[in-house]
Amino acid sequence: EVQVVESGGGLVQPGGSLKLSCAASGFTFSDSAIHWVRQASGRGLEWVGRIKSKTNTYATAYAASVTGRFTISRDDSKNTAYLQMNSLKTEDTAVYYCSRSTVTTNWACDHWGQGTLVTVSS
């Protein structure tokens, strides 16, 4: 069974840092791209960023709202991706979802975790 599970959320002060993890199982992790998507309470979905596979040079891309502050990485030996969040702002408060995409679905995100809540507040 394909699974992705986020962890690492919590309460952090403005200006602080937090690192989220996305642990994957049930599929060939190294062949997939991993996306992070967030959703503030009562709001819509916001794409945060993506990391491609090793075959695609681990290329990353980010939303303008997080560029320069957030970094996505992955460790294929651990089947895990990460979202390092620095210089956090109150507007970064949201549920953060990890999802995978593969060539099978033209790189659309076909499996999602249940999300981890990040709260940025003093």
Partner 1 sequence: EIVLTQSPGTLSLSLGERATLSCRASQRISRTYLAWYQQKPGQAPRLLIYGASSRAIGIPDRFSGSGSGTDFTLTISRLETEDFAVYYCQQYDGPPFTFGPGTKVDIK
Q: Tell me if 18 sits within 8 A of 118, measured CB to CB.
A: yes
CA gap 5, 97 in Å, rounded: 9
C-alpha distances in Å from residue 102, one per residue of 16, 41, 68, 84: 33, 29, 26, 23
Residue number, 58 or 107, with CB nearest to partner 1: 107
Nearer to partner 1, 13 or 28 (CB): 28
Quick check: 27 binds partner 1 (CB under 8 A)?
A: no
Q: Which member of 51, 109, 118, 120 binds partner 1 (CB under 8 A)? A: 109
Residue 64 sits in the site that holds partner 1 (CB under 8 A): yes
**Contact with partner 1 (CB under 8 A) among 22, 34, 35, 120:** 35
Q: Which of 21, 31, 62, 86 binds partner 1 (CB under 8 A)?
A: 62
Interaction of residue 47 with partner 1, rule CB under 8 A: yes
Q: Which is nearer to partner 1, 29 or 113 (CB)?
A: 113
Burial label, 65 (beta-carbon count in 10 A; 0-12, 13-18, 19+): middle
Bridge partners of residue 25, in order along the sequence: 3
Query: Is residue 112 a contact partner of residue 98, using CB atoms and an 8 Å limit?
Result: yes
The residues that touch partner 1, with contacts defined as CB under 8 A, are: 35, 37, 44-47, 50, 61-64, 97, 99, 101, 105-110, 112-115
